[in-house]
Structure 1
Amino acid sequence: MAVAFLLYVFAEIAAIWAVGSAVGVLGTLGLLLAGAFLGSWLARREGGKAMRAFVSAARAGQPAEKELTDGMLVGLGGVLILIPGFVSDVLGLLLILPPSRAVARRLWLRRMEKRAVRFANRRRGPVMVVDSEVVSEEPRRRDQPTVIEGRVIEG
């Protein structure tokens, strides 16, 4: 994690240095301020859309994981835009704009589904796979074998 943070700081400094060399100090400050104002306006607009979509899905009684995740990603994008720097502005804009946010949402939901399954398996206890069939092992005495569809599994 510390290495990732150092790489991020290095990338921000390099980006600010490159832009500063191209447009000067005042131009760089102007671009940073313009990015913050434009990004905060865009985050507010997209956040409002995400909130309205969440409320309509909740009123309709439909699952709202898409809308909830969109709101979270827009909020994260807004925070990234408010952090001074060009790399964070670009990442924030990618999370706020709908096409790239859809990609981030799919990746996030896929990751959360995997973590939820892993957590459920850890809480449920040992699970065995028998002939491509998942069978949860219930508590039993040690000297008693498990019988599944006529097969005896010693364990």
Structure 2
Amino acid sequence: MKKSLLLIAVLALSPAAFADDNAAKLALAREAISAMQADKMFDGMAAQMKQMAAQQTRLPASATPEQIKQAEELQGKILDLSMSEAKAMIGKMDAIYASVYSEAELKAMVAFFKSSEGQSMMAKQPQVMAQMMPLIQGMQQSLMPKIQKLVEETKAAAKPAAP
């Protein structure tokens, strides 16, 4: 009987202990994400994406000033919407981090990103991204003809042979 009561007591307390552990881990995940300055990283990406989008958007030479203005406004609205959604995603990252990383890993992340080396790394991320953008753009430009060729080959293979 005593063993049964002890087992029931342990089982009854387990969810409460798990909830406390989960809440503590979520708080630790939030602290890690905050230390990584995820919101600032998205702000930096927004500026670079805006610049990249402006370079990639080519209106015809015959575009009127009004059409150019409308295209720029649309581009701005799309970017703002995208960044708003990305920042909302930051609010959901804590649950993901808490489910993927152990408490020890989260503590190590917090310690690193709060250290002078971690802060230096975060401060230099815009420089890294600025240097990566031309590489990404070059990759996209070299991939486009290859992708178009694959699409054309797939379409040609799908056509029935002429009788």
TM-score normalised to the size of structure 2?
0.28
If each structure's strand is expressed as a fraction of its own residues, which one has the higher value?
A: 1
Greater RCO (CA < 8 Å, at least 6 residues apart): 2
